[in-house]
Structure 1
Amino acid sequence: MRVLISAYACEPGAGSELGKGWNFSCELARQGHEVTVLTCGSHHRDAIERHAAAHGLPEGLRFAWHDVPGWSGPGYANARHIRQHYLAWQLTVRRTAAALLARAPFDVVHHLTWTVLRWPSFLGGLGPRFVFGPVGGGQGSPKPLRKGLPRRCLRAERRRDAINLWSRVDPLVLGALSRADAILVTDAATLRHVPVWLRGRAHVVVDVTAPPARRAIERPAREDPAILFAGRLEGWKGVHLALGAVARLRRHRSGLVFTVAGSGPEEAYFRAEAARLGLGEAVRFLGAVPHEAMGAVYAAHDLLLFPSLHDSGPHVIGEAFAHGLPVVCLDLGGPAIAVTERCGAVVKTGGRSRSDVEAALAEAVDALLVAPEALERARLGAFERAEALGYPAHVEAIVERFYQTPRAAARRLAAMPNGPIPPARKA
């Protein structure tokens, strides 16, 4: 198939949205499709061309560049106005896409990044089948779990609530959804933001992907368990809940160590929270860790504690699985459908206070650490989950389910030698 990928964020050797745009597109080309990636030239062209010169590109993969006229953009290191630049890019990219379509036919136009429903794409209705997503962002943090956060975090959460409400009637969002042939969402909360009359086109899919499993990792010998959080240090990432859980665990696991890998605006708050709980040297703040150095960090820990309040498809979960780390998360957003009981635990939040959730997180972690055989089973489950969430399987499923008309997809799936892949969930 000939596919035009819209990936504002796309860069080799990166994680998160940048890595998703790059890895998905490369894998799509490796599977034999002709892929043109339309991305932000001012942000990513230099890195992509350097990589291509040094390592080459998969056969069939090409790049096209679009820049916002008169505005090169803030970049990701100083991303204060990145959202405004993204919207300007989306508002101006349609003409570039139309020119590409005029020169060569495409079967599918796929909006891949960013993965937020309230940030629409305007590439539907150009002729080819239009796939939008997977996108998230419809989740909101439960109010009881915001307790204790700094006022600026609370203001940000209230602002997010208001923006999500507006997205339900935003004509730009509704226009993008109405022009999509397939709307892929990362969780049930985001699905509820899709208008009822369009939910026949909407599907919930797991948007957590994993690199190849690294079963040969040598883990350091230690007596006491080591727990990891990795991510940007913002209030909604739930580090305050993780610290509360660690404080409870330390009552009977005095040697337990908790590592926080990442930086962000709330680092000082989380450090103060750790001190308030008397955790002292039990908590280590590593600051920002380069993506290429994270492998050693994963290998030095036993599990990932990731109680985010509204993530859609955090790639840190897939990376943890690939390194054999079970994951404990909340039943909120994309992590809740990526993590299973074979590779971790999902903690319920409905009707629970902050204290209740912290206690439940501690209990879930303790259950994995209670015996070596329990942790080993969860490690094996993590490796298995990483293989199931790898880009080869993920891309193949997206193509089979959503790049074709439903009737053509049904015929192809029925002809597969191993039977059809499980159907996506619908509204």
Structure 2
Amino acid sequence: MKLLFISNLFPPNQIGGYEVLCARVAGAMAQRGHEVRVLTSCYGGRISDHEGMRVAQGLRLLCGDTIYQSFAKGELRRQVISDDNAIVTRELVERLRPDVVFAWNLYGLHKDYFHMIERLGVPAVCMLTDNWLAEMMAPAFIGTYFERHIYGDRPGGGLVPAETIHKMEVAAIFGARSMQALHEAAGLGFRDATVIHNGVDLTDVLARTRKPRRELGEGPVRLLFAGRLVRLKGVHTAIEALGELDRRSGADRRSFSLTIVGDDTDAVYLAHLMSLVARLGLAEKVTFLPPVAEADLGDLFDRHDLYLFPSLYEPFSLTLIHAMATGIPTIASAVGGNVEIVEDRRTGLIFAPGNATDLAAMIAFLAEDGELRERISQAARDAAAQFTTTRMVEQMEAYLARQIMR
């Protein structure tokens, strides 16, 4: 197959797992003998060679100085950039004549660009392991969803379907069942759709010896958060839970420490976390560290006793799968793809999103039960082993081939 991947970002210009996953799938498709071309933006400015595929950085994103900032250069400038993006894409499609256009995260591109993809005359498939398309096509619905279900008064509650239906001439691969449900509730209809869970290359992780988890070492129980330091990741909930545990601590109770590892680009949220740590008197019990390379995650997990994954919103986390593959007992929030990865009381513990009291109770419960930690550790490794990159790529390959035959 001739495959044209389109993504707003592509390594080495990346901010999260979406771009890394896109690159891995594109690389795997090239290794499987497909002709792969990638069209991405010039955001970030860095250039890197990718074996087996050509990467063109011809798109420009509609954002501020960072991808987290809104575009503020006016409607005329927006239209010029959107038109240029459309021209670049159509010219590439005319030259390459791909069998399938595989659109990944198009955040930072206008919905006119998406409609242009629909009209290219080439089968188009969207990879939806995030809400970028729902935000693009149904912004009012997504705004209400985040206000009420993520940050507001109905965390994790049932969705109220949108009244407007958007019928689109694209197929969709959803990275999780929760993402399919969100897009359906937003009123997005697709030519065809399937769910293919995201995968991780776990060959090296599963090959390493699992650290026994029945016994805890001397000193505080070492809690870990690893991920981006943004509000959606719920790091504040982990700190608040530590505060509750600290208030309960005494001569007959274990004490706890928390290591927070991740990208702290969001300066406003980082300041909030620092203020929260100071207000709760946890300065000596909380450590902030920069991100670590994926190859070093295993050592990071082995140096800690429990992994906390307190997201308020989480489509489908590769880091969560990676943690489970190492065998570190994990406590995750009951949101999005988390409950498709973690089975409560078997491969991890689940707590109510944003509820620090519930998280603190789960931490104390797991810290006190060595037999449960050991059972969860082994079962988590077995479960994580099902979420492989190979399985994901094979399923995607078959699905893309079916789109050509439609």
Q: TM-score range by the shorter chain?
A: 0.7 to 0.9
**Residues 1:141 and 1:398: Cα distance change in structure 2 (over 3 Å):** same
- The equivalent residue for 2:361 is 363
1:20 aligns with 2:6: no
SS of the equivalent of 1:179 reads: coil
- The equivalent residue for 1:159 is none
Partners of 1:218 and 1:335 lie apart in 2 by 22
Partners of 1:194 and 1:145 lie apart in 2 by 15
Partners of 1:115 and 1:366 lie apart in 2 by 40
- The equivalent residue for 2:239 is 243
Q: Is the 8 A contact 2:4 2:100 kept in 1?
A: yes
Kindly report structure 1 stretches of 4+ aligned residues shifted beyond 6 Å.
71-75, 82-85, 87-90, 115-120
- Counterpart code for 2:105: T
Q: Is the 8 A contact 2:205 2:298 kept in 1?
A: no
SS of the equivalent of 1:266 reads: helix
- The equivalent residue for 1:129 is 123
Percent of matched pairs sharing the same residue = 24
Using the TM superposition, give the Cα deviation of residue 276 of structure 1 relative to its aligned residue in structure 2, in angstroms. Answer: 3.0
Partners of 1:4 and 1:406 lie apart in 2 by 13
Partners of 2:330 and 2:71 lie apart in 1 by 30
Q: Is the 8 A contact 1:11 1:18 kept in 2?
A: yes
The alignment covers a number of residue pairs equal to: 367
SS of the equivalent of 2:54 reads: strand
- Counterpart code for 1:389: F
SS of the equivalent of 2:335 reads: coil
- Normalization by structure 2: what TM-score? 0.74
Partners of 1:202 and 1:84 lie apart in 2 by 35
**Residues 1:280 and 1:321: Cα distance change in structure 2 (over 3 Å):** same
Partners of 2:371 and 2:171 lie apart in 1 by 47
- The equivalent residue for 2:187 is 195
Deviations 1:249-288 (A, max 9, x none): 44355332211113232222222223333334222222x3
Q: What does 1:217-256 align with in structure 2 at a 5 Å threshold?
A: 222-223=217-218, 224-250=220-246, 251=248, 253-256=253-256
CA RMSD across the alignment: 4.0
- The equivalent residue for 1:400 is 398
Selected match of 1:335 from 338, 352, 370: 338
Unaligned runs of 5+ in 1: 148-153, 155-163, 409-427
Q: Is the 8 A contact 1:142 1:309 kept in 2?
A: no
**Residues 1:367 and 1:206: Cα distance change in structure 2 (over 3 Å):** farther
- The equivalent residue for 2:174 is 184
1:64 aligns with 2:62: no
- The equivalent residue for 2:90 is 98
- The equivalent residue for 1:312 is 315
SS of the equivalent of 2:48 reads: helix
Q: Is the 8 A contact 1:368 1:374 kept in 2?
A: yes
Q: Is the 8 A contact 1:12 1:47 kept in 2?
A: yes
Using the TM superposition, give the Cα deviation of residue 6 of structure 1 relative to its aligned residue in structure 2, in angstroms. Answer: 0.7
Unaligned runs of 5+ in 2: 135-141, 154-158
**Residues 1:17 and 1:366: Cα distance change in structure 2 (over 3 Å):** same
Deviations 1:219-244 (A, max 9, x none): 69833431111223233321222123
Using the TM superposition, give the Cα deviation of residue 403 of structure 1 relative to its aligned residue in structure 2, in angstroms. Answer: 4.3
Using the TM superposition, give the Cα deviation of residue 66 of structure 1 relative to its aligned residue in structure 2, in angstroms. Answer: 1.1
